[in-house]
Amino acid sequence: MIGNWNTTAARTLRSLRGTSAPMTYTLIAVCCLIFVLGPVSGLTPSYGTGEALAAAQRAYFRHWGVVPADLFDGPAREALTPATALFVHGSWVHLLGNMLFLFVFGAMTEERMGRVQFTLFYIGCGYLALLGYAAANATSQQSLVGASGAISAVLGAFLYLFPSARVTSLLPFLFFLPLRFPAWVVLPFWAALQWLALNQASSGPGVAYLAHLVGFGLGFGYAWVRYRKKKGAKRGPGRAVVGDGRATKVRSAPAPAPEGENQP
């Protein structure tokens, strides 16, 4: 049994080392593993059922998620929660939506930034996105979980690094017809939707749209500061270039999943 586990782990590590974006896939794997082992997945019998399961979920979110009131007026360990919350999700839909977007946009961004820089960028921007939301809602007792702040930063960086990359989008109001648009059309449109939703959102449990916008702005700003000189030297206008100079294409994806349902 142990031998089989060691063999499987070794093969997984070799596979990750052989990819061009190992940290993207590692982050996806870690988020999925944490979710499956936690009380929200419904796959771990030890958390019980009914009210016992609901209580376990509330305690889980409060311990690992960001509670703004505790973050600014609580014990020192609360300062770590904007980092731990990045790996906790509130539902299967929340998890799968976020991981799909990380899979689609994270790999190319990691290839451009490099493994170490991408990992620090992802965690740092995700931390600041949740911190920004908490600062704007400093008295809230609701817990906040999810990787959407970090993934929104990836979208912002992707927009700057690959503005002409063609993104296949499925639009509900056009009967989900697959349409291809450049990133400079799709991603600002997504950001505009987050802004509109933020202005209409209530103060109760729901989606933390502000964390999306903070993450998106941080990601775009970081890429602009870090790569603005190199970008002009390596690629001409109106064309995203990766490696051999071919125009970049990315897979289809829906809008990013909600930022960690504020838990009651």
> Which DSSP symbol is given to 40?
S
179: left (phi over 0), alpha (psi -120 to 50) or beta: beta
Q: Other CB atoms closer than 10 Å to residue 96's CB: what's the count?
A: 14
User: What is the SS3 assignment for 144?
Assistant: strand
3-state secondary structure 228-262: HHHHHHHCCCCCCEECCCEECEECCCCCCCCCCCC
Residue 203 falls in the annotated catalytic set = no
Number of helices (H), then strands (E), belonging to the chain: the values are 10, 5
Which of 140, 143, 148, 152 is labelled catalytic? 148
Which of 143, 152, 169, 212 is labelled catalytic? 212
CB 62 within 8 A of CB 71: no
User: What is the SS3 assignment for 13?
Assistant: helix
Residue 148 falls in the annotated catalytic set = yes
Q: Other CB atoms closer than 10 Å to residue 45's CB: what's the count?
A: 8
Please list the active-site residues.
Answer: 148, 212
